[in-house]
Amino acid sequence: MLPVAVLPVAALPVACKAAVAVLLVAAGGAKLADLPGFAASVRLFWPGRLAAVPLDAVAAGLAGGEVAVGAASLCCPQAGWLNLVVLSVGGGFVAVAAVGYARHPGRPCRCFGSSSGRGFGPAGIGRAALVAACAATATLPVRQSALQLGPAGRLALLAGALLVAAAAYSAAAAIGAGRRGPRRA
């Protein structure tokens, strides 16, 4: 790893960008392993008048979208608009954590599928705010040479992102197999 003493100023936004992108890929992969469970969490926020919409499909779309946004952000660092997309996703996390805490305190958020048994609470809002802060830091301007990536580099990062998603999926599936339902309070 780069020693802290020689880290250039550009390293902070770059590190935040990479960390949030990897987090999105891992969280999305873990959610895909337990779509019915994630759909149950989505249902807590779903308006009653849209009851006809298949929530499993919505949950799959959200989890798949999370993986896609994370992988794209990781592989295409020069696309500045992706930083704004990731920032809006981070803002969404904060909103969900806050509304979840206000309306459904203690209910499992399944932010990492079955691999996370944490419920909505103040700590969850703090974690979501930290992710959003990192996403905001990633939008700071960085010299383009620091973000230069060739096709081989992009491909390697995409392969790494897919590997992380697959590992998160496997970990969440293994944990879900040992724990069928949510923990009781």
Partner 1 sequence: MIRIPLYLAVAQWALLGALGALVVIMYRQLGRLLTGTARAEALGPVAGGRAAALTYARPGEQAQRQLTPGGGQPLLLAFVDPTCPSCEELVAVLGRISAAGDLAGLRTLLLISDPPAYLQISEVFSSTGIEIGRPVRREGLESYRVSATPLLVAVDGDGVVCAAGSVVRPAEVLAFARSCLLPAPEAVLAAPEAVRRGEDGT
Which residues, 6 or more positions from 17, have their beta carbon under 8 angstroms from its beta carbon? 73, 77, 83, 86, 138
Q: Does 49 bind partner 1 (CB under 8 A)?
A: no
- Rounded CA-CA distance 151/132 in Å is 29
Classify residue 143 by its DSSP letter.
-
Stretch that binds partner 1, among 60-68, 93-101, 131-139, 162-170 (CB under 8 A): 162-170
**Residue 182 C-beta: closest distance to partner 1, Å:** 5
CA 152 remoteness from chain centre: 25
- Quick check: 39 binds partner 1 (CB under 8 A)? yes
Q: Which tokens in the block code for residue 96?
A: 């969900």
What does the binding site for partner 1 look like in residue numbers (CB under 8 A)? Answer: 1-2, 8, 10-11, 14-15, 17-19, 21-23, 25-26, 36-37, 39-41, 43-44, 74, 77, 107-108, 115, 145-149, 153, 156-157, 160-161, 163-164, 167-168, 170-171, 174-175, 177-185
